[in-house]
Amino acid sequence: MARKCPHCFAVFPAKKVLAYLNDLDCASCGTPLEISALSRNLSCFVGLVCAAVTWRASAAYYGAHPGALGWALPVLFSYLTYSVAAALTLILTGDLRLRPTQPVPDAALPRGAH
C-alpha cells in the first residue's frame, strides 16, 4: 500500500512513511510532508483499544495463575500490542499532508550592534 504526495502525487511506500514520520520530504518536488492528525489520532485510539483488550485478557489469565511476573506480563503484552496495532493502523490509514511552515523565532533574527 502506498501514500501519495498531495502536491505532486508522487507515490511513497508505507514503510518510508513509518520510518520518517516527522521528517518526510517528497523526493520529486521537495515539499515537506507529515502524517495528518486524523491518521495519528485514529492509530493511537485503535492501539489503545487493542492494548486494553490484551491487558484485560492477560490480567484475567495471570490473576488465576499467579506467578513471579504475573503483574508485569499483562503490562508487557499490552505495550507490545499497542506498538504493533498502532503501526499497522497507521500503515493502513496513514494520509500525507503538507507540513506547515515553521515561523522563524525572534532570537534567530539578526540584531543591530549595540
| Range 99-103 contact pairs with CB under 8 angstroms and sequence separation of 24 or more | 99/24, 99/32, 99/33, 99/34
The structure's pTM equals 0.74
% the chain with pLDDT above 90 = 28
| pLDDT of the residue at 114 | 55
List Cα–Cα distances, 112 to 104, 105, 106, 107, in angstroms: 17, 16, 13, 12
Q: How far apart are CA 51 and CA 55, in angstroms?
A: 6
First and final CA of the chain: distance in angstroms?
58
pLDDT tens, residue by residue, 3-50: 787 888 888 777 777 777 777 888 788 888 888 888 889 999 999 999
pLDDT tens, residue by residue, 45-101: 999 999 999 999 998 888 777 777 778 889 999 999 999 999 999 888 887 887 877
Calculate mean pLDDT across residues 98-112.
68
Q: Per residue in 25-58, is it b (16+ CB within 10 Å) or e — as a string?
A: ebeeeebebbbbeebbebbeebbeebbeebbeeb
Give the dihedral sign, CA 49/51/53/56.
negative
